[in-house]
Amino acid sequence: MTLKKHLMVCSAAVALTGGMAMPATAAPWVKGYVVGTYEYAFRYGGRADFSRGAEIEPGIDCPHGSSIHFANDTQTKIAVARQKWRSQQEIDWIAKPPGLDQVRAPVLTRFHIWNRAVAYRGYNKTIETYVNPWATDDPGQPQVTSRIGDGFNLDGKIKANDFVSPDGERGIDNNLYRAWGCDAPWRGNGNATLDLRANDKMQDGLYTMVIRVSGNQDPMNDSDATVEIGYSPDKIVKDARGGISVDYSYRILQSAQYTKLKAKIKNGVVETEQVEHMHTPRIAWFYDQTGDTNFTKGKIKLNLSADGMSGTGLLGGYRNWRELYTENTFAQDGGQQGIREHEDHVGLYFALRRNADGMYNQKTGKYDGISTVYRVKMASAYVVDPDKPMDIPKLMGDEPRMQAFLAIKANTIKGIETRIPQPVPPGTSEAAVPSMEYTIADLPSKDYFLKTLTRPHYDGEDANGIPPWSRRRNGTLPAPAPQQAPAKPQQQVRNDVPVTTAQNE
């Protein structure tokens, strides 16, 4: 249909001019796009001689490599040995659990023992690490050393440590890249594990982001254009090869996760104004991560193809670095993320804190925000308004998980701000609860680990330490009758360990 329309327009123009093409005239125009790739705008500075395309390119911007804290038993032993209150037997047995060769799933069993152990690395063994990252030592996170980076000059200044853009613009602010650009699961030219996971989930329907550009002059050159960006309730349509299909219709919701900006276009490059708050969907691979980016001092730059069928771009501004920490750490739980992805969120926490560069807090004398830039690739679409106003729909089956995430996020931010240790709230899977209890059932040394390793406890646990919500999810405990309101979880302390809770993995 689109091709047919294009041919009709061209034929009419030729007929009217006797075969002579007419110059374009100013007229209202609209172009829509659906975002198919959405990731942090990290650069990789690869070596010219690197040709193994399936591997993560080493790059010259991270000469010190990436974090490997939990990559193997040797590194895990080093990590847990930093806690002076651990005995040598604990350190040795955590790294290499006795009897591991006798269990049905040795890798998974070791995984969950490590998960529980690294979740308690604070100055006091009852303090959960990921909810209270400030309460343990900085394990170190390799940081980007390159001067080249994508982004914007958000503060209007050119500072000594600012990046320089690939096209030579100085004063580029993208300190999230400096802090996290060497983190392995985010590092790769489209093949980093968390980039792949997030984009797969977005393309499979977790959420959709659309962009609409309009004006009254020319789509490639317009001094008074408008850019709208926001959430769509419509799932992305893919073609037979798994790519993003073009020219399908998507609604844009002008409620949460939506911003309308003034812009100028020159030779297909769209640059918007900078606004105090810019709302867009945020990167997510689970429902509980979804929500509003809420950039401060945000702006957008897009590069539109001449045929209007595709585009690329950058979205940037300052984001609350505490929120960035919680969104990445508690997608599942800190230990699980760290061991599987070979990263340490404690190191990432300290990297965020020392690189914060925006949203100055007069009360604390510190920065609450860090300059953050996202990269997008998009395909042509028809972006339309819904027939009637509507809010972003909720996935009711995942709402308990969302509420658990919001609770642990709130506790983490409270702990960071007050330096008072916070418990793990009900509904999460921090400290591998109850995953470790399930997976070490046939481990000969299981009693030692159940007795020795600190864990959160909850009201209603059974004799094996399985909390009610986990038994309910696994079909071994009936849910409360519809007319009965579930009892509100009570915070307790057992053996000086704050009561807390866990979430599906």
Whether the predicted pLDDT of 84 surpasses 60:
yes
Taking the CA of residue 122 as centre, how many other CA atoms within 13 Å lie in the half-sphere pointing to its CB? 21
Q: Which residues contact 321 (CB under 8 A, 6 or more apart)?
A: 352, 353, 356, 368, 369, 370
- At 10 the pLDDT is 39
Cβ atoms within 10 Å of 246's Cβ, excluding its own:
17
Q: Dig out the tokens for 294 from the structure.
A: 């809420």
Q: Which stretch of 56-60, 140-144, 291-295 has the lowest confidence by average pLDDT?
A: 56-60
- At 219 the pLDDT is 94
Q: What is the pTM of this model?
A: 0.86
Reference 110, options 122, 98, 121, 125; nearest CA is 98
Task: Express as a percent the part of the chain with pLDDT over 90.
Answer: 70
Q: How confident is the model at residue 44 (pLDDT cuts 50, 70, 90)?
A: confident
Q: How confident is the model at residue 496 (pLDDT cuts 50, 70, 90)?
A: very low
Would you give the distance in Å from CA 429 to the centre of its chain? 18
Q: Which residues contact 3 (CB under 8 A, 6 or more apart)?
A: none
Cα–Cα distance, 168 to 183 (Å, whole number): 26
- At 46 the pLDDT is 60
- At 51 the pLDDT is 58
DSSP 8-state symbol, 493: E
Whether the predicted pLDDT of 124 surpasses 60:
yes
User: What single-letter amino acid sits at 290?
Assistant: T
Rounded average pLDDT over 204-218: 97
Element (H, E) at 91: helix 88-95
Rounded average pLDDT over 151-176: 96
Rounded average pLDDT over 5-27: 45
Whether the predicted pLDDT of 365 surpasses 90:
yes
Task: Express as a percent the part of the chain with pLDDT over 70.
Answer: 85
Q: Which residues contact 172 (CB under 8 A, 6 or more apart)?
A: 149, 150, 151, 152, 153, 162, 163, 164, 165
Q: Which stretch of 24-28, 60-64, 269-273 has the lowest confidence by average pLDDT?
A: 24-28
Write 356-359 long-range contacts (CB < 8 A, 24+): 356/175, 356/321, 357/155, 357/173, 357/175, 357/318, 358/154, 358/155, 358/173, 358/296, 358/297, 358/318, 359/296, 359/318, 359/320
Whether the predicted pLDDT of 237 surpasses 80:
yes
End-to-end C-alpha distance for the chain, whole angstroms: 45
Considering all CA atoms of the chain, what is the largest pairwise distance in Å, rounded to the nearest integer?
91
Peptide bond into 434 cis (omega under 30): yes
Main-chain phi, psi angles of 495, to 5 degrees: 50, 40
Cα–Cα distance, 177 to 41 (Å, whole number): 7
Main-chain phi, psi angles of 355, to 5 degrees: -100, 5
pLDDT digits (tens, 9 = 90+) for 400-416: 999 999 999 999 999 99
Cβ atoms within 10 Å of 426's Cβ, excluding its own:
26
Write 109-112 long-range contacts (CB < 8 A, 24+): 109/439, 109/440, 109/443, 110/73, 111/336, 111/339, 111/340, 111/439, 112/432, 112/435, 112/436, 112/439, 112/440
Cα–Cα distance, 356 to 369 (Å, whole number): 6
Q: What is the dihedral of CA 313, 316, 322, 326, to 10 degrees?
A: -10
Q: Dig out the tokens for 355 from the structure.
A: 């690189």
